[in-house]
Amino acid sequence: MTNRISRLKTALFANTREISLERALLYTASHRQTEGEPVILRRAKATAYILEHVEISIRDEELIAGNRTVKPRAGIMSPEMDPYWLLKELDQFPTRPQDRFAISEEDKRIYREELFPYWGKTFDERFHQRADDR
């Protein structure tokens, strides 16, 4: 292992694994702006919105720059996939036996008060719409 790689590895593992809400907040903002449009367009516009607004970080000694978040070791949240699972995990992320992540009380509040109400509503709507179609 080169000295540069060793330094990068040491720096990476010196950081705590934590949750980042940035992608979830950006995706949600885009979805709010595109309500009523076809799903495929909403997803495309959400991806474009994220790419236009996500905070960029380029760390010292990186030859290939970029990551999903500015936090060195972060997991992203995708509440559009299953908002209920994330809601149940919020208080368990730091202490669960596998894949522990730190999450601030402020980020928990944002998820509960801003993200979950939006995605919980849309998730329920999709579920009931499909159930009614059968």
pLDDT at 122 over 80: no
CB 115 within 8 A of CB 79: yes
Q: Which helix (H) or strand (E) holds 20?
A: strand 18-20
pLDDT at 117 over 90: yes
Specify the pLDDT at position 129.
Answer: 65
Specify the pLDDT at position 99.
Answer: 87
Cα separation, 31 vs 48, in Å, equals 12
Please tell me the least confidently modeled range out of 13-22, 27-36, 41-50.
13-22
pLDDT at 18 over 90: yes
- 42-58 pLDDT per residue, tens: 999 999 999 999 999 88
Q: Which residue has the higher pLDDT, 60 or 37?
A: 37
Number of domains in the chain: 1
Domain hosting residue 121, numbered range = 3-133
